[in-house]
Structure 1
Amino acid sequence: MRILFIGDSITEWGRHEDTQGIGSGYVRLIHDYYKVSKPEKNYEFINRGVGGDRIIDLQARWDQDVIQIDPDIISISIGINDVWRQLDSTDKEQVYPEQFEQVFIELLNTVKEKTKAKIVLMEPTLIEEEAEAEGNQKLSAYVEIIHKLAEQYGAILVPTHQAFITYLHANTDYELTTDGVHMNSTGNMLMATTWINHVTLP
């Protein structure tokens, strides 16, 4: 069984420096969990995260990095940069919710038409470790789109954004990121456990 993870730098996280191409982030933790818990299974984990990617960047490489790989399961984590660029690069052409949804629909339609892959949609995580930060407020519209598409396409929803917001509301001083966006080991563990708790591999 071939499980493909695609997304931005949160997914990429060291895959180019890793001889297995899996990286050291949440994808690695999911990989290691299944290698230990189900050693009899022949799971193949593939990481196609690319730093800085927005939904339009996934669109540009969708055929090569998804369709040609023909996965059994595709797990998609995207949306952070679509919002973050609105905060740190206001002069850049932006991807607002309407376009985000439109492009996402095109990508999911292609998966349905050209593969037999089961779809897993991960909520975009967080922007700043403060639940009410501007980035997280803007992110809510993109999270809602993910929920809508998960229902529309019969996809498995992984509530990673909600997991982080719940953690932040616990008011612990223990941080989950290195810069408000990119995960430290604890943030990666939260992503991985949330994924494992919601996705059942046969």
Structure 2
Amino acid sequence: MVAHKIVMIGDSITDSNRLEDPEGMGGGYVRLLRDYYITEDPEARVEFVNKGVSANRITDLEERWQRDVMDEKPEWVSISIGINDVWRQLDNQEMDQVLPDRFLSIYRRLLNWTSEETGSNLILMQPTIIEEEVFSRGNQMLKSYVEIVNQLAGEFDAILVPAHEAFLKHLKKNSKSNLTTDGVHMTSTGNMLMAKTWIRAVERSII
């Protein structure tokens, strides 16, 4: 019997080609987390369920929340979203933009729904980065979305994973190692940084 079921929901960073993986984990930070908890405590009964979908924004999560979160009845829900909400604005895709106020209202609605109907524990991950430059336009626009995630973590007594802060800290060290392949999607180094930041935030709460 699985003691701890953890749904990991988000965009392509979470997805990481999970549908091409026989285990459904993908090749990103979710797999690293799964492997970490298996090796850290072989007796721990933890099931990671990857529900990342490439190109998703908060509006897309809302459309599939019943199927991919509520119906799974998880003990924990870890959410990583916000990059595409900003990235599409940078690409000048004017249709159906998700500006900060809308992002906040939808995100809060999903958290209320989850808390009231499932009692699942919540883990909110700050969106990471857009371009490996601290002061890039994308990272400046992302600030409002990061602040919203911080605010909601406080409102819902959720665990906050400070992924954006961790990535900026790394970039400020002028490291020569690339965290992304294109400014958004993770290299193996970026995935490791995400996983380590998640583990440090969650500690041993799930086992």
TM norm structure 1: 0.98
- Mapped contact 1:85–1:92 kept (Cα < 8 A): no
CA shift, 1:167, in A, is 0.4
Distance between the aligned counterparts of 1:91 and 1:194, measured in 2? 33
Q: Are 2:109 and 1:110 equivalent residues in the alignment?
A: no
Which amino acid in the other structure matches residue 37 of structure 1? E
Q: Please name the residue that 1:141 is paired with.
A: 144
Q: In the alignment, what sits opposite 1:131?
A: 134
State whether residues 67 and 115 of structure 1, in contact with CA within 8 Å, keep that contact through their aligned partners in structure 2.
yes
Taking the TM superposition and a 5 Å limit, the aligned residue runs for 1:14-163 are 14-163=17-166
Unaligned runs of 5+ in 1: none
How far, CA to CA, are the matches of 1:92 and 1:176 in structure 2? 30
Q: State the partner residue of 2:190.
A: 187
SS at match of 1:84: helix
Letter in 2 for 1:176: L
Which consecutive unaligned segments of at least 5 residues does structure 2 have?
Answer: none
- Cα deviation for residue 42 of structure 1 reads 1.3
Supply the distance in 1 between the matched residues of 2:162 and 2:147 (Cα, whole angstroms): 11
Q: Which portions of structure 1, spanning 4 or more consecutive aligned residues, are displaced by more than 4 angstroms?
A: none
Share of identical aligned residues, percent? 53
Q: Aligned partners of 1:29, 1:77: CA distance in 2, in Å?
A: 15
1:81-132 CA-partner distances (Å, limit 9, x unpaired): 0000000143332000000000001100110111121000000000000000
- Count the aligned residue pairs: 202
Please state if 1:8 is matched with 2:8. Answer: no
Give the RMSD, CA atoms, in angstroms: 0.7
